[in-house]
Structure 1
Amino acid sequence: MPTTAHPVRYDAYAFSQALGDLIRVVQFRDRDRACCHDLSVSQCYALEAVIQAGELSVNQLAAHLFVDKSTASRVVSGLEARGMVERVPDPSDARRVRLRATRQGLAVHERITVELTGEYRALLERFDPDVAAGMTEMLRLLAHSFSERVDTSSGRCCTISHAQERS
């Protein structure tokens, strides 16, 4: 653990620890909720992305999930086997397909969303409304800031330069 001699580094370390704690809890909750509907967390995230976009290519889904195309394809195959998504011809290029949620996929997503929204509502009710709104905005800013630093184009990990790590 860094010493307090470097407050910025300590703050970054404390931030990292707190964020890690939050991510672990949320991922467990997501996994628990997804399992209730016979889906993996990755499949839930993929289904949500397809529904939000209306239609996506596998490449677009891979970029959205920060994974490579083959990983996205495996996730989609699982969703397709469960009747949650379908591959439809891309109107602009007959060689390509687009992903679209089925009625079953929309229904499962709706059930999961209702369950999670109820949990989040109960959580947010513990806070002053202005604090709850501020937390929501902070989470959006964090997600945006983190996504700007993610690059999956090389197909390999460790793409953050050492210069960025020291800053």
Structure 2
Amino acid sequence: MAAADLSTHPGHLARRLQQAHTLLWTTMVSEETTSPQFAVLNALVEKPDTDQRTIGEHVRLDRSTIADLVARLAGRGLVERVRDPLDGRRNVLTLTDEGRKVHRRLVTRTARMNKVFLAPLDEGEREILLRLIARVADAAEELRGQG
């Protein structure tokens, strides 16, 4: 039996893409704050004082992952978690001053990193790539939700 051509395997290519992203992220953006942690900080800039579940849904992270990320961000003093006085099951999240500072610094760096990451593509190709990746990710999340 012949070896599989991994260049036709989307999972293999997605893993390579993720490795490239991780390398660029750690060298150009931050060694301390991960891309998913940045997504949470960014969501809290967009939707301040929002509960943890809603932020997790907004950035498309499952409950256990968002809980772990929020715990780490809170441990670093970037996010404050407060029990909702009207619903003790909810944690309302707020960016601290330090969290806002870190977010401001990383927004600039992520923009620069994204230019480098997508540099091999022209503007039209970038738009197509991002649209296609989002479509595949959305479909996979729908399948996971059904399972």
TM-score by length of 1: 0.64
Larger mean CA deviation between 118-127 and 94-103 belongs to: 118-127
Which residue is 2:125 aligned to?
134
Structure 1 pair 141–56 and aligned structure 2 pair: CA distance change class (3 A): farther
Contact 2:79 2:95 in 1 (8 A): yes
After TM superposition, the structure 1 = structure 2 runs for residues 100-115 of structure 1, keeping only pairs within 5 Å, are: 100-115=94-109
The CA RMSD measured in Å over matched residues stands at: 3.2
Give percent identity, aligned residues only.
20
Contact 1:34 1:44 in 2 (8 A): no
Where structure 1 has 5 or more consecutive residues not aligned to the other structure, the ranges are: 4-9, 160-167
After TM superposition, the structure 1 = structure 2 runs for residues 3-152 of structure 1, keeping only pairs within 5 Å, are: 12-13=8-9, 15-32=10-27, 33-35=29-31, 38-63=32-57, 64-67=59-62, 69-88=63-82, 90=84, 93-95=86-88, 96-121=90-115, 131-150=122-141
Mapped to 1, the partners of 2:115 and 2:7 lie a distance apart of 30
Structure 1 pair 144–103 and aligned structure 2 pair: CA distance change class (3 A): farther
Structure 1 pair 61–137 and aligned structure 2 pair: CA distance change class (3 A): same
What is the count of residue pairs matched by the alignment? Answer: 141
Shift of 1:21: 1.8
TM-score by length of 2: 0.70
Mapped to 2, the partners of 1:141 and 1:49 lie a distance apart of 23
Q: Identify the structure with bigger relative contact order (alpha carbons < 8 Å, sequence gap 6+).
A: 2
Shift of 1:54: 2.9
Shift of 1:123: 5.8
Structure 1 pair 88–132 and aligned structure 2 pair: CA distance change class (3 A): same
